[in-house]
Chain A
C-alpha cells in the first residue's frame, strides 16, 4: 500500500530489572505504509507499548534500526527527537494528558507553540481543529470542566493539529465507555483518512482493532500475526452500522 513510512528492523528491547534480563521486545521487524491505519494488538505485558514508545523515540531500542519517512532516527539525540516529533509525530494517550492549567484551545495549540508559530495563527488553527472534533462550544474550557470523551477529543485535535506524518495512539479508549469509545475511534480514523495520515493504535481490545486496516498481534514481545483487517473482522464500515 504505497511507500513505507515506518520501517523497523530487528528491534530488540531488553530491560534490566535487578539482575534479571527481561525481554520486552524481541527481534521485531515491520513496515508500515503511508496512510495506513494500523493496530498493534496484544494483552498487557506483551511489549506492544514498548514497541510504540520505541517508534516514537520515547525509548531507545537495545538493538535494531528505525527509519521514519526515510530518516534513520535510531541514533537521534533527545533534542533531535523533540524537534523531529514537532513536525512528524502526533500522540493520543489513554489518560488524555492534557495540560490541566490550559484551556482547550491552548492545549490543542501546544504543539504549534513548541514549533514557534505565532499566537494568532495557532489559535485560529486550534479553533478550527476543535470545531472539527465537535468541540466548538468548549473552546475556553479547561480539562477538568470536560468529560472523558470530550477530553480525548481535545487530545485528538492536539495530535492532528500540526498535520504530522504519523499519529500514535496508546490505548486511546482505555478510560472511556463503549459508546464514547466508538465515537472517539470513528473520529480518529476519519481524521487520519481525511488528512491521509498514518495512524498506529496500540490496544488490548479486539473491538478497537476492528477500526484498523491492518492488525499486528503481539505476544511476549514477538510478532504473532500480521493480517489485513477484513480477514479477521471484515470491513469496519459494516461493523459500525
Chain B
C-alpha cells in the first residue's frame, strides 16, 4: 500500500468526523499554546536580564585582579601569582580567549599632559595593549584606533577628555563642566582633541609633591613649570574614543596609551626621582580578557582562576541569574506541559473511540488484504496529524499572543521604557519591552513536539486496532 494512500485514508477519516477532530485538535492547540507562551516569557525574561547586564558591562570580558600581593603571601600554589607579561601570554593561550590587555594605571604624579601651555590634563592615564582595543569593542568617534604597526607613542583620548583640561592660569572656575545648556548644546571645551597639539612631560618629585598637595600651592604654573624642567614631547593623537558605559576602563575621562609607552614613562619617572623599581616584579594590578562568546566565559574564567588570580566578570552574576530564570522557565513550561498532557489523553481517547466505531471497517480492510502494518500506520498518521495540526495552529496562535503580550507590556511600561531609552540607547530599550520572545527553533520544536505527542498517543490505539480480528469485525452487524 502506498504511503500517499495511507495519508489520504487517514486524513479522510479525520474529515469524516469533523467536530470530534476539531475538538481534539483544539486540545492540542491549547496545550501547545500554553507551553510556547510560557517558554517565550522565560526567553523574554532571559533577554531582558542579559540586556540589563550588558549595560553594566561587557558580558564576554573577564577582569583579573592581582590581589595586591595577597595571593603571593597566602597563595597555595604560589608561583603563578604575578600578573606579568608572562602570565598574560599564558592567559592569551587559553582556548576561546581572543584578546588580553593589562590595565596599567599611570599615576597623575608621574606625567603631565598639557596643551597650549596653560591647559593641564586632569583625567586618568591608562596603559593598555592598544592593538587589542578593537577586540574589546572600543570604537573611535574621531580619528581611528591605532593599527598594529602604529608608533608606540600614539595615544587615544576618551570621549569627554576635552573637558578634563583645566586652566592653570585661573584661580577659580578652572574647569569647564560638560553640562548641556537649556538648548542641549554642550559648552565649548578649552581644547580641541583632534586639532590642538598636546605635550607630555615626566614629572620630577618636586612637581608631583606640589601637585598632590593641592591646586592652591601649584596654582601659578604647575603645568608649565614641570614641562619646562623636563623636556616635553609632543603626543600624536590617533583618535578620540566613542563613549561606552559598559566598558572597563570606561573610555570617557582618560587617555589610553600603549602599555610599553606607559611603562617607559614610569621607568623614566622612577629614574629621575631615584625610586627603586618594584612595580615590575609585582606585575600589573589589573588585566582584561576578552572571550569569544558568552557561553565560553565561565570555562575561561575557571582556567584563569586555576592560575591563581582573582577574577571577576559579569558571568558570575549572569550565570546565577540565568539559573534562576531557567528554574522559572521550567516551572512555566511544566504548567504548559500539563495541558498538553491532557490533550494527549484526549487524542488517545478520540482514537480509541474511533477504533470502536470502525471495528468493522478495520475488519473489512484486513479481509480485503490490507497488511496489519499499514493499518497501524494509518492510525498513527491520524493521531500524528491531530498533533501536527494542533502544533501548527498552537504555534501560530502563540505568535499572536506573544505580539499581544508585548504590545500590552509596551503600553504599560511606556514611560519607563522611554526613560530607559534616553539612558541606555534606543536599541536596548526596544528589546527591553519584549517580554515574550519565540525563537524560531521554539516554533519548529513545538510543532515537532506536538506531532510526537500525537504519535505517542496514537501508539496504543493503533496497536489495539491491528489486534481486531478480521472475522469478528465482519460478523458484526
Contact = CB atoms under 8 A, between A and B. Distances in A.
Contacts of B364: 97-99
Contact of A114 (B16, B365, B470, B471): B365
B2 A111 contact: no
Interface string A56-72: 10110000000000000
Interface in A66-94: 78-79, 82-87, 89, 91, 93
B369 A83 contact: yes
Most B Cβ at <10 Å: residue of A56, A79, A89, A101: A101
B474 A86 contact: no
B368 A85 contact: yes
A116 B1 contact: yes
A112 to B, nearest CB: 10
Contacts of A115: 1, 369
Given A93-B474, A97-B474, A114-B374, A82 B366 contact: yes
Contacts of A33: none
B477 A95 contact: yes
Contacts of B4: 119
A62 B216 CA distance: 121
Interface string A92-133: 010101111110000000110111101100000000000000
Contacts of A89: 369
7 contacts: A53-B471, A82-B371, A89-B369, A97-B364, A111-B368, A114-B1, A114-B374
A187 B369 CA distance: 24
A10 to B, nearest CB: 22
B368 A110 contact: yes
Interface string A141-182: 000000000000000001000000000000000000000000
Nearest to A102: B12
A128 to B, nearest CB: 19
A82 B470 CA distance: 10
Contact of B372 (A82, A101, A116): A82
Given A97-B364, A114-B365, A119 B372 contact: no
B372 A78 contact: yes
A111 B368 CA distance: 6
B83 to A, nearest CB: 75
B379 to A, nearest CB: 15
B367 A91 contact: yes
Given A93-B474, A119-B5, A114 B367 contact: no
Given A99-B361, A113-B1, A82 B477 contact: no
Contacts of B225: none
Contacts of A114: 1, 365, 368-371, 374
B367 A58 contact: yes
A113 B372 CA distance: 14
Contacts of B16: 101
A130 to B, nearest CB: 17
Instruction: Give 7 closest A-B pairs by Cβ, nearest first.
Output: A86-B369, A85-B369, A114-B370, A58-B471, A101-B16, A97-B364, A114-B369
A9 B365 CA distance: 29
Interface in B1-39: 1-2, 4-5, 9, 12-13, 16
B360 interface: yes
Most A Cβ at <10 Å: residue of B361, B363, B366, B368: B368
Contacts of B365: 110, 114
Contact of B369 (A99, A101, A111): A111
Contact of A79 (B5, B371, B477): B371
B187 to A, nearest CB: 83
B143 to A, nearest CB: 73
B324 to A, nearest CB: 54
Contact of A91 (B2, B368, B370, B373): B368
Contacts of A87: 369
Interface string B44-66: 00000000000000000000000
Interface string A28-50: 00000000000000000000000
B472 to A, nearest CB: 10
Nearest to B357: A100
Contacts of A53: 471
A113 B366 contact: no
A91 B470 CA distance: 13
Contacts of B1: 113-116
A101 B470 CA distance: 19
Contact of B12 (A93, A101, A118): A101
Contacts of B368: 85-86, 91, 110-111, 114, 158
B367 to A, nearest CB: 6
Interface in B64-87: none
Nearest to A168: B367
A113 B5 contact: yes
A119 B1 CA distance: 11
Most B Cβ at <10 Å: residue of A78, A97, A119: A97
Nearest to A85: B369
A207 to B, nearest CB: 23
A101 B13 contact: yes
B103 to A, nearest CB: 74
Contacts of A99: 361, 364
